[in-house]
Structure 1
């Protein structure tokens, strides 16, 4: 099944869960149950490393909708884009294996918000990703965290982000879009 169809199913399921009173606090862990499908595997017969990031998107959709953030973003003409991400693999997901994508908001810096995703089987972490995302306006430009938190509220109880996450975000950053970024391999 192509990820677009899974995305639509997750969005519909998240909306249904909200209607049934299963909304989430922005600091809660959201969970989406998935199965490794034939379209997810690579020639080595396990989940393709690139597919993890696509499936972790499903966790973000679920959390954004169930925590009420998606409606606030839609109302204000905002959307989120991933500015950087890192993923670590521990065990392989096999064909037809059931797993949970667990997602939570882990904090922010001066320009972006951070989320953590985990692929979990029977309580055991198989893979983990850290994602840094920025909010943009459909009319152009970026949304500051102050504006974001004014519209949706600043989540209480979020612990401080581990220092390595800030270091990674700084070390992996590319120049801003209006600054040249030549591809020089020397």
Structure 2
């Protein structure tokens, strides 16, 4: 609930932007302006590392709305879930600092859709995250890419997923929810 107001404002702004004809194509970059608030800070007075990923959700909401994917999701009873994410930090954000969250679709493999999010201050990258997400049905089960692309169109011109992203996904994947995943330490 701590980001609910930011999320609602972001979605409202994205809808207004869409109505003004500012739709995004599959290779376009979404930009959301954010300010570091006191609730974003940790005891060291810089943005908490976990907050970056939470705020990157705002970029995903903007991207979903402005590409038209949100409407398709509502129509079909789908929603997106993050299946994996990795983040790298360069510089810290401090109280009151304004920054942009830039988001774009990277591509897809047979299991996930990949996005990149960047935290940018005056053109300089402070943090970058790669996110793998899957589309699931409210009634249960995942939405195959063929069904997703039939509803929204297949994005053209997307490059292949970088090899390191494929390696990362393969190496970090947990077992299916239908298989056991005991917590044993070696």
Q: Which moved more, 1:119-128 or 1:18-27?
A: 18-27
Matches within 5 A, 1:130-145: 130-145=130-145
Which residue does 2:21 correspond to in 1? 21
4+ long deviations beyond 4 Å? none
Counterpart in the other structure of 2:77: 77
Per the TM alignment, residue 2 of structure 1 is displaced from its structure 2 partner at its CA by 2.8
1:144 shift after superposition = 0.5
Deviation for aligned residue 1:105: 0.3
How do 1:27-176 and structure 2 match up within 5 A? Answer: 27-176=27-176
Distance across 2 between alignment mates of 1:156 and 1:93? 35
Distance 2:15 2:74 in 1: 14
- How many positions carry a matched residue from both structures? 186
CA contact (8 A) 1:26 1:63 kept: no
Range with bigger deviation, 161-170 or 18-27: 18-27
Cα displacement string for residues 18-71 of structure 1 (whole angstroms, at most 9, x for unaligned residues): 111111112200000000000001011110000000000000000000000010
| 1:152-180 Cα shifts (integer Å, max 9, x gaps) | 01111111111000000011110000100
Please, which runs of 5 or more residues in structure 2 have no aligned partner?
Answer: none
* Number of the residue aligned with 2:177: 177
Shifted more, 19-28 versus 172-181: the winner is 19-28
Q: Unaligned regions of 5+ residues in structure 1, if any?
A: none
Task: Look up the SS of the partner of 2:141 in the other structure.
Answer: coil
Post-superposition offset of 1:4:
1.1
SS in 2 for 1:119: strand
Measure the CA separation in 1 of the matches of 2:151 and 2:26: 13
Compute the TM-score of the two structures, normalised by the length of structure 2.
Answer: 0.98
